[in-house]
Amino acid sequence: MILETLGKVGFEWKMALFNFVNFLIVFAILKKYAFGPITKVIEERQKKVNDSVDNIQKAKTELGVAERRAQEMIDEAKVAANKVAEKAHEQGKVQVDKMKAIAKTEIGQLVDQAKRNIEIDRKEMKETLRTETVELVVLAVQKIISEKLDDKKDQAYIKDILATLK
């Protein structure tokens, strides 16, 4: 009954069987010669894509590690730079303190030398003043006495006066 109904519609079972067998032959040929290589190419491309994704993940991981390492190196460099700056600052402070101590020492030496020079100059001036005073006194006495003593007497007289002044 189904075949009669299909026959009325124009369906021929022999032709359908022939088409089915033909389809199976074409399918087997395609499977052997077309689907296999196409499937192989698709699998190779899928493998390449998966490898690329894996490589990208590895690269991202390595990039993250490299960035962290670079940041660590930067941090270490900053710490080292700060230590160097601190050390230079401390050395500068030490040098300034040394220079101050040297300057104080030199100033003290200059002040002591100046005091000694002043004392020497004062003694020389005092001696010069005494000598000139004695000479002035002798001249005044000579004018008062109106007589000139000889050089030996002058020298002896000056020595006596100097001895009594000391």
| Domain range for 79 | 2-126
pLDDT band at 147 (very low <50, low <70, confident <90, very high): low
The pLDDT of residue 148 is above 70: no
- pLDDT tens-digit readout, 34-88: 888 888 889 999 999 999 999 999 999 999 999 999 999 999 999 999 999 999 9
The number of domains in the chain is 1
Instruction: Specify if 141 maps to a domain.
Output: no
Asked which of 87-91, 105-109, 126-130 is least confident by mean pLDDT, the reply is: 126-130
Other C-beta atoms closer than 10 Å to the C-beta of 49 total 10
What is each CA distance from 83 to 48, 72, 150, 158, 162, in whole angstroms? 51, 16, 87, 78, 73
The pLDDT of residue 157 is above 80: no
| Phi, psi dihedral angles at 104 (to 5 degrees) | -60, -45
Instruction: Specify if 25 maps to a domain.
Output: yes
What integer best gives the mean pLDDT of the chain?
86
The pLDDT of residue 162 is above 80: no
Q: Which helix (H) or strand (E) holds 119?
A: helix 36-145
Instruction: Specify if 153 maps to a domain.
Output: no
Please give the share of the chain, as a percent, with pLDDT higher than 70: 90
The per-residue pLDDT for 85 is 94
